[in-house]
Amino acid sequence: DAMVIQNPRYQVTQFGKPVTLSCSQTLNHNVMYWYQQKSSQAPKLLFHYYDKDFNNEADTPDNFQSRRPNTSFCFLDIRSPGLGDAAMYLCATSGGRKNEQFFGPGTRLTVL
């Protein structure tokens, strides 16, 4: 089945220790997104790629970076995680005729 895969599902890191979250897709969609979601809040868009074109949201902290080496993979790098960065990180893709968006299962990040 075509899908969006995220690894790891759970990540524990220490305050200030860099962490990388990964996402891959088999949907062959042009667009990939990273969202941050905290408890009882809607997903908040951090950035997205349209093919190789990177689009950063204005309020995304510099602490968050992303890479998309090819169509299938996208990475989220958090350079110096703070306690406030503990959240669920969701990867999504969109494309196809209906331009629908599909999410991976998320990576839950804990910062100690």
Partner 1 sequence: RKEVEQDPGPFNVPEGATVAFNCTYSNSASQSFFWYRQDCRKEPKLLMSVYSSGNEDGRFTAQLNRASQYISLLIRDSKLSDSATYLCVVTPYGQNFVFGPGTRLSVLP
List interacting residues with partner 1 (CB under 8 A).
31, 33, 41-43, 45, 48, 50, 55, 88, 90, 92, 94, 98-106, 108
Least distance to partner 1, CB of residue 101, Å: 5
Residue placing its CB nearer to partner 1 in the complex, 80 or 103: 103
Q: What 3 state SS string does the chain have? A: CCCEEEECCEEEECCCCCEEEEEEECCCCCEEEEEEECCCCCCEEEEEEECCEEEECCCCCCCEEEECCCCCEEEEEECCCCHHHCEEEEEEEEECCCCEEEECCCEEEEEC
Least distance to partner 1, CB of residue 81, Å: 20
Residue placing its CB nearer to partner 1 in the complex, 70 or 97: 97
